[in-house]
Amino acid sequence: MRYRVTVQGRSFDVIVVESQDGLVAALVSEGKEPAFERVSLSSRGGLTVLSRENASETLSLSGSPEEEGVYHVSQGGGRPLRCEVEDERRLLARAAGGASRAARTGPRVIRSIMPGIIVKVLAAPGASVAAKDPLLIVEAMKMQNEIRCEEAGVIAKVHVQPGQSVAAGAPLVELSPA
């Protein structure tokens, strides 16, 4: 599963896979040799114990009834960190926020979730794509984010090119039904 987690306004794209040890999450990014920091979490009487390589600590979380996916994580000492977890479905729903029901019959417009710079365009006009295929990579706040399509289709139009800055909500790619 792919998630975007926004910690105090800074967004991280995360891929979570199930392995034999449980669940493993990795930050999505490109280039350079990865420097790993492994953390593991366990539960103690409803609180979270976080273990890093040579240290561990207790955390407490509180959810937000009014905002789904929002957690305030308190690590003892100071203001808690606000984390918003969005799963793939929510991200795509937001990306396609501009598309109306009527647009479903015509081309779907995929929009940028955030202001950023286009790093790479992976989709070429006329190409057929399957659901979840990556279409382009947008960099924002030093993080690179893959924009994927929600459903299969044919690329009708590409609005952007590498190096270009885009605003939140800007149209990126138009997708015709397959």
Partner 1 sequence: MLKKVLIANRGEIAIRVARACREMGIASVAVYSTADRNALHVRAADEAHEIGPPEPRSSYLDGAKLVSVAKKTGADAVHPGYGFLSENAAFAKEVEEAGLTWIGPPSGAIAKLGNKLEARKTAKALGIPTIPGSDGPVEGDSVRAAARAAGFPVMLKAASGGGGKGIRTVRDEADLVRELERARGEAQSSFGSSAVFVEKSIFPARHIEVQVLADSRGNVVHLGERECSLQRRHQKIVEESPSPVVTPEVRARLGECAVRLAKHAGYRSAGTVEFLVDAELRFFLLEMNTRLQVELSVKQEDVHARGAAIELRVTAEDPFQGFAPSAGTVRGLQLPGGAFTRVDTALEAGAEVSLFYDPLLAKLIVWAETRERAIDRLARAAAEFQVGGVRTTLPLVAHLARDPDFRAAKFHTTWLDGFVARAAAEAPGGLETAALAAALAAHADSKRGSAPASAPAAGSSWAHTWRPR
Using the minimum distance from each CB to partner 1, give the nearer residue, 140 or 152: 140
State in angstroms the smallest separation of the CB of 150 from partner 1. 19
State in angstroms the smallest separation of the CB of 44 from partner 1. 7
CB 136 within 8 A of CB 125: no
CB 111 within 8 A of CB 96: yes
Whole-angstrom Cα distance, residue 31 to residue 87? 24
Binding to partner 1 by CB under 8 A, coded x per residue (else -) over 68-97, reads -x-xxxxxxxxxxxxxxx-x----------
SS3 state at 178: coil
CB 129 within 8 A of CB 155: yes
Report the residue from 2, 26, 119, 167 that binds partner 1 according to the rule CB under 8 A.
26
User: CA nearest 147: which of 97, 111, 176?
Assistant: 111
Report the residue from 2, 53, 54, 59 that binds partner 1 according to the rule CB under 8 A.
59
Span of 46-54, 113-121, 155-163, 168-176 interacting with partner 1 by CB under 8 A: 46-54
User: CA nearest 158: which of 142, 136, 131, 130?
Assistant: 136
Report the residue from 53, 101, 102, 142 that binds partner 1 according to the rule CB under 8 A.
142
Our finding on whether 9 is near partner 1 (CB under 8 A) is no
